[in-house]
Amino acid sequence: MSASGRDLLLSNKGKMPTLSNAPPPGPRAVSAKKSSPCKGLAHVARLMKLGRCKNVVVVAGAGISTASGIPDFRTPGTGLYDNLQKYNLPYPEAIFNIDYFSDNPQPFFSLAKALFPGGHRPNYVHYFIRMLHHKGLLLRMYTQNIDGLEKLCGIPDDKLVEVHGSFASASCHLCYTPYPAEEAKHKIMSGKIPVCTFCTATVKPDVVFFGEDLPQKFFLHTEDFPKADLLIIMGTSLQIEPFASLVNTVRSTVPRLLLNRHAVGPFEKVRLKRGDHMELGDLEVTVRHFAEMLDWDDEVTELMRSHATTSSGSPITSYPLVSGETQFEGEVTAGTPDGMDSEEADSEVDSKSSASANMDH
């Protein structure tokens, strides 16, 4: 979960970044010295097949969900931050700024009905990451996303760090008193503002706004990144700190693979450091190619199919991401994200995957 006109700077207390007026750097053109197409993918796939990557950490952003119909935040023209004009915000990121929310929560709540999990389905990229778990290779996934699609595709909670929080719980933004998540959702979807029963301040879902502390689970990175033997970075602009700096905390000998539309962060350098690889372009196409190199494509496709069959009875109501002025149409009717995490439904696929992996979990 890279807006035009603003740069996001690191807070020194483990919080979401503060904002400045400096414009963010645009995506840098790919160097002519970049490795030939798919060479990096092939190299990493070979390492994985040889069993040299048993502790994979995935770092992901909004780009992994665009194939599910959810716009990212920063793509010029189509990104969320370029389509918030009707809210009359002082700057696009204000919609996720805790101070602005405290003064004027209505813009966020107008947008929140489209952000609540239930309106979209996971895509091939999500299921590829889950396949890493099936194979016993996923040490942890760190996601910026608040769309819930990682849980919806069945990535277990103990393998997932939702760095920017989620809609799974809600609390008062002022005194932090917990508030029933379903009740908060019902009110928001009905065009009402939930209010704290203790101090009467506004309640919001526990997604992390600019100016708020990151969840405690984020600090698992101090244990995970030193253990990693492969880092996969996908669908992120690497512009929000402290998330962006995580990619620099793996050991110097650990390969880092960027799968993205543009070169970002340390991959913008003219010459990549040894062990760094990137494949740029449409993320879903790239990940499918990666799966084919690993001989996983059939298993990922079967996992997607089995989930589609299992969830066929759960109606999905999809709202436009930037809809008209808060004319809510009622609550989304859909299964909870955890409802998709059924071991019974996936037992056949899991069994095939585990047998083919032949690696320690």
Asked if 349 and 299 count as a contact pair (C-beta separation under 8 A), the reply is yes
| The token pair that represents 246 in the structure block | 């995580």
Asked if 63 and 1 count as a contact pair (C-beta separation under 8 A), the reply is no
DSSP letter for 77, please: T
Reported for 19-22, long-range contacts at CB under 8 A and 24+ positions apart, including other chains, are: 19/91, 19/93, 19/97, 19/210
Nearest to 20 by CA among 38, 5, 36: 5
Strand partners, 203: 172
Residue type, 24: P
Q: Is 164 designated active site? A: yes
CA dist., res. 308 & res. 320, Å (int): 22
Angle between helical axes of 283-293 and 39-49 (0-180°, round to 10): 40
Catalytic residue among 164, 173, 221, 289: 164
Q: Where does 216-342 have alpha helices with state H?
A: 221-227, 283-293, 297-310
Q: What is the DSSP string of 259-270?
A: EESSB-GGGGSS
**Residue positions annotated with a catalytic role:** 164
